[in-house]
């Protein structure tokens, strides 16, 4: 939305994606904090941070835009947008076309120490929104923003690992990870392992990164990652809903989990 507003204001000078990412991180962070504080009991504390996240300037993702952003376009609108802006467009599972931008892997959350201080002080921290603001280190050793959108689930997994979190929840609008999603053999996955998920053919701009992030967290931490609906958060933690990803089948949490 912000990218389209900027283009309407001055098509010759589009706002850079890192600045737009910072704007959305602050805007949506405010909305989350407002409603979270309304829901939490008196005496609760919450802090929203802008988070710079370092990426590798040599990441191959910069040469292969894959992260869908913005609205859906008809074939005619997509052709016009491609002609005017030189965008890469991809077809979503729903059939619509969207702009695709580079999505490099997060390497380092620059404000991690501040997050730890706030957590230690009893704050609920809202951070790394939208994957964080993508930055690289230039030849002078300074940080500068880049034209990219970091996958939010990959950054969430990195954050959870760095904080030694007990669990990682990736909450969305579907009940679980599905085999043959939208096909005749569609089947929801309940308790599973990272290795078992490796062979699934998943959409690269939506469920694919969630599964990759959950598997990465489970493998590296030996702890639990869950994927499912926001409204099922507690049930996913308790093993009653969603897809629960463990390092291997020897985990007690895996063995307690039943089918979706």
pLDDT attached to residue 250: 64
Query: What's the pTM value of the predicted model, to 2 decimals?
Result: 0.86
| pLDDT score at 202 | 83
Class of domain 1-64+102-152: alpha beta
Question: What is the predicted pLDDT for the residue at 61?
Answer: 94
Domain boundaries for CATH 3.40.1160.10 within the chain: 1-64+102-152, 165-260
Task: Find out if CATH 3.40.50.300 is the number for domain 165-260.
Answer: no
| High-pLDDT (> 70) share of the chain, % | 93
* CA–CA distances in Å: residue 5 to residues 65, 131, 250, 253: 22, 22, 52, 47
Query: Which of 259 and 190 is assigned the larger pLDDT?
Result: 190
| Residue 256 confidence (pLDDT) | 46
């Amino acid at each position: 939305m912000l990218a389209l507003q900027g283009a309407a204001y001055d098509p010759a000078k589009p706002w850079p994606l890192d600045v737009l990412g910072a704007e959305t991180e602050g805007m949506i962070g405010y909305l989350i904090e407002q409603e979270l504080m309304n829901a939490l009991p008196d005496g609760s504390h919450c802090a929203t941070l802008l988070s710079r996240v370092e990426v590798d300037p040599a990441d191959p993702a910069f040469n292969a835009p894959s992260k869908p952003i913005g609205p859906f376009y008809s074939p005619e609108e997509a052709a016009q947008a491609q002609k005017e802006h030189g965008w890469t467009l991809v077809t979503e599972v729903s059939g619509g076309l969207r702009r695709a931008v580079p999505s490099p892997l997060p390497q380092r959350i620059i404000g991690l120490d501040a997050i730890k201080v706030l957590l230690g002080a009893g704050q609920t921290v809202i951070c790394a929104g939208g994957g964080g603001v993508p930055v690289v280190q230039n030849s002078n050793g300074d940080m500068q923003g880049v034209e990219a959108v970091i996958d939010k689930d990959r950054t969430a997994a990195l954050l959870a690992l760095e904080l030694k979190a007990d669990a990682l929840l990736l909450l969305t609008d579907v009940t679980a990870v599905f085999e043959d999603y939208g096909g005749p053999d569609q089947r929801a996955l309940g308790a599973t392992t990272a290795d078992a998920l490796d062979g699934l053919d998943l959409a690269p701009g939506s469920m694919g990164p969630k599964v990759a992030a959950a598997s990465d967290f489970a493998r590296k931490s030996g702890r639990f990652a869950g994927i499912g609906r926001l409204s099922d958060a507690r049930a996913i933690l308790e093993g009653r809903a969603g897809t629960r990803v463990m390092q291997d089948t020897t985990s007690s949490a895996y063995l307690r989990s039943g089918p979706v």
